[in-house]
Chain A
Amino acid sequence: MKSVLVLVLGFCMLGALWGAGAKEAAKPAGPVKIWFNTLFHGGDAKAMEMIVQEFNRRNQDVQIDLTQGSWTEYAAQLNNAVMAGEAPQIGIVLNFLMPSMHPALTPLNDSPVGDLLKEFGIKREDYVEYVWDIASIGGKQYGIPLDNTLLGVYYNKEAFRKAGLNPDKPPMTMDEFVAACEALKKAGFIPFHPAAFGQSRWYRRAWYIFYWQKGGELIVNNRAAFNNQKGLEALEALVSIRERGWNTPGTNGAAQFESGNLGMMMNGTWHYLSLANVKFEWGMMGIPKWFEKQYTWGSNHFLVIPRQSKKQEPLIKPAMKAIKFISENSHLWGIYGGHVPLRKSAMQSPELQQSETWKKALKTFTEMAFGGIYKSKPLHPRIGEINAAIEPYIERAYNGTISPKEALALAERDVNAVLSK
C-alpha cells in the first residue's frame, strides 16, 4: 500500500514538473540574452557599462548581461569557462595573451555558424591594420581590435606653478625632468611616482619603458636579452628615483597624486576617469624622451567570442551583433574610458575629438599610439610567467635590497628557466 502511495505521489510530481515545463515553453520568446564578461575595473569599467546600456536601449531583440571581473584572474577564468562549456558570449583578450589564448576563442571568419566577418560587414581596413593582424593566427581572425592602452605621465599643474615650473611646458627630456623633480621637491611636493599603484608589475613596466628607451630588447632567440649595459643603466635610472628622494618605496602613486601631494605620476589611459573629481588642475604630458628613443609601454584589448558549446551556438550571431555595435561606438570608449579606439571611424569621430577627454589626455595618447612611441611587451606564449620572473627583482632593486646588477642577473636566470621549459 505504502509503495503504491509513493508511486502515485511520484507520478503527480512528475506531472506537475512536466506541466510547468510546458507552460514555460508556451511563453512568448523574449529577447536573446548574451553574457559579456570583461576585465575592466578602473574608470573604464563605468564606460563599458554606459556603452552596454546604450546597446540594450537600442536593441530589443538582444540584451547584454554585463559582468566586469578581476584583471589578474581573467584569462584563466575565461579558459576554464570555455573548458566547462559555460563561456560568456563576449570577452576581452589582451594582445600579448592572444598567442596562448586563441585556442579558447571562436574564429570569427570560420565560426560554427559561418563567416561572421563577412555576414556583419567587418573589414580589416576599418581598423588599425597592424593591431588587427595580432589576432590573425593561421589565417583565422580571433578578435576585433578595441583599443590601445598606453602609459603616460600625469602631472599636477598647480604643483608645477608652486614649484616655479611652466605647466604648459612639461619636461620632455631627461635634463628637464630631473630639473622639474628637484624643483617640485624643493617646493615640498613628492616629485614623481614611476609605478602608479605600487605593485611590483608597475615597477617592471617602468623599467621596460626605460630599457626600451635605451634601445634594448627583452627576449632575443628565445633567451633573456636584458642583462646588459642598457638594462643596467635603465634599472639604475629607476633606482635613482628612490636614491634622489623623489619617492619612497611601498607607496601608492595614485593615492599620492589624488591627494595633491605628488607632482608627476606614470599611469595609463584608463586612469582618466579616476581623475575626473580631483580638486586641482592636472595634465597629461605623454612620455618624456628620457633616453635615446621615445617609447612607452602599452597593450591592446580585443573583443572576442570565446568558444561556445553546442547549446550556446545560437548565441554567436547575437554576440557578433553586440561586438559590432561596441566597435562602431568605440568613440564612446575613448570619451568615457580614456583609451585610444582602434576603429578608424571612431578615431576620426568629431564627438571624440571635441570631447574633454581628447583635449586633456586622449589627443596626446593617440599621437603616442600612432607616432611610433607605443611598444608592447613580446607576444610570447609564456609572457605572464616571464613578467612574473622579472618583476620581483626589479622591485627589490628599487627598494634597495639588492643591487641593479644582481637583480638583472637573477631575472635573467629565472626568465631563461621559463623559456627553456
Chain B
Amino acid sequence: MGAEGILFVLPYGILWLLFLFLPLVFGFYISLHKWNPLVGNVFQGFQGYIELFRTPRFWNSFWVTWRFVLFVIPGIIIVGLLAALALHAKLVGGLFESLFFFPYLLNVSIVSILWGLLHDPDVGIFFQYLKQLGIATTPLLNHEFWALPMVAFTTIWWLAGYRMVVFRAALASFPAELYEAAKLDGAGPIRTFFTITLPLLKPTLLFALVLTTVGGMRAFGQVILMTAGGPGTASEVLALYMYRVGFEFLDFGRAAAVGFILFLMIFTLVMILLKFFRLGSELK
C-alpha cells in the first residue's frame, strides 16, 4: 500500500484504534486486576478468569448464549432469506416488504416491552390464546425451557427485515442470463437455488452471518427487558451476566474478564465463518 492508500485508511484507522482496539486492550488489562481505583487496583493475573471458570452461573450463561445464537442465527438468516426470495419471485409485494421491514425500525425497548405485554399472563393476548388453545398453562416468558426461544423469536421478528433487504439487493444484482441458461438446461427452482443463487449469495450470506453472530452473541436489551435473565437464570446470556457482575456486584475486573471471553467467542466464530465460506479476499 502506498502513502496515498495509508492516508485514505488513516481517518478510519485512528478511530478504530481509539474506540475499538485500545478499549479492547484496556478491557483485557482491567480483567487482570481486582479493579477498584478508589482503594487501589490489585494485579491478580488470570485469577479472575480461574474464578469465573469455577462459577456455575458463568457456565450457565455461557451455554445459554450458545443456545440463544443457535435459535437466532439460523432463524434470522433463513426467515430473511425466504422473505427476500418470495419478494424476488414476486410472490409477495411491497406491502409485505414494508410490514416485514417495519420492526427493524423500532428500538429494542419498544420491541421488548411490546412482546413482554403480549406474553403477560394477566393482559397479554398471546398468552390468552395459547391458554385457550390448551398449548400453554404457564406464561412462556416464565417457563424454564420456553423463555429463551421466546426472546429469540422476538429477536428474529425484530431483525429479519434488515437481512431481507440485504439479500434482496444481492438477488437483484445477479445476472438474469444465468437463470435463463439454467432454465433452458431444464433446471428446476430448487436446483437453480442451490447451484446458482446460493453460490452467488456467498459474500452477502457471510456479511449477514457475521452481523447476526455479533448481534446474537451480544444480545442484552431484549433479554433484560423481557425476562431479566429468568426464570431463575434460564435466559441469562453472557452479556447480561457481565452487566450483573459489573453493575450489580461492582466487580469490574471480573466483568471485564467475561467481556473478553465473549470477545474471544465472537472472534473465533467469525473466523470459522470466514474459513468455512473460503472467501480469500475477506481473509486477506
Q: Which listed residue (B123, B144, B244, B247) contacts A255, Cβ 8 A? A: B123
Q: How far is the CA of A104 from the CA of B38 in the complex (A)?
A: 7
Proximity bits, A57-84, B CB within 8 Å = 1, else 0: 0000000000000001101110100110
Interface size on A, residues (CB 8 A): 38
Which residues in A have their C-beta under 8 angstroms from that of B230?
199-200, 392, 395
Q: Measured between C-beta atoms, what is the minimum distance from A32 to chain B in Å?
A: 26
Q: Is the CB of B250 within 8 A of A421?
A: no
Is A384 on the interface with B (CB-CB < 8 A)?
yes
Cβ < 8 Å to B, chain A residues 13-46: none
Proximity bits, B219-234, A CB within 8 Å = 1, else 0: 0000000001011110
Knowing A73-B247, A76-B246, A399-B142 are in contact, say whether A250-B51 is a contact too (CB < 8 A). Answer: no
Q: How far is the CA of A412 from the CA of B57 in the complex (A)?
A: 14
Is B91 on the interface with A (CB-CB < 8 A)?
no
Is B56 on the interface with A (CB-CB < 8 A)?
yes
Using a Cβ cutoff of 8 Å, how many contacts connect chains A and B? 87
Knowing A82-B38, A250-B121, A255-B122 are in contact, say whether A388-B142 is a contact too (CB < 8 A). Answer: no
Is B55 on the interface with A (CB-CB < 8 A)?
yes
Which residues in B have their C-beta under 8 angstroms from that of A132?
none
Q: Is the CB of A200 within 8 A of B123?
A: no
Q: Is the CB of B247 within 8 A of A76?
A: yes
Q: Is the CB of B37 within 8 A of A83?
A: yes
Q: How far is the CA of A417 from the CA of B55 in the complex (A)?
A: 8
Knowing A103-B38, A250-B139 are in contact, say whether A396-B231 is a contact too (CB < 8 A). Answer: yes
Interface of A is mostly: helix
Is A393 on the interface with B (CB-CB < 8 A)?
yes
Cβ < 8 Å to B, chain A residues 235-261: 248-252, 255-256, 259, 261
Proximity bits, A368-394, B CB within 8 Å = 1, else 0: 000000000000001011001100110
Is A100 on the interface with B (CB-CB < 8 A)?
yes
Is B282 on the interface with A (CB-CB < 8 A)?
no
Q: Which of B36, B142, B250, B251 counts the most chain A CB atoms within 10 A?
A: B250
Q: Is the CB of B250 within 8 A of A79?
A: yes
Q: Is the CB of A249 within 8 A of B38?
A: no
Q: Is the CB of B39 within 8 A of A249?
A: no
Which residues in B have their C-beta under 8 angstroms from that of A104?
38
Q: Which listed residue (A79, A256, A392, A393) contacts B38, Cβ 8 A? A: A79
Q: Is the CB of B139 within 8 A of A76?
A: no
Chain B residues in the interface with A (C-beta under 8 A): 36-39, 51, 54-57, 120-123, 138-139, 141-142, 144, 228, 230-233, 244, 246-251
In order of increasing CB-CB distance, the 10 nearest A-B pairs are: A250-B142, A392-B232, A250-B139, A396-B232, A76-B247, A385-B249, A103-B38, A392-B233, A73-B247, A83-B37
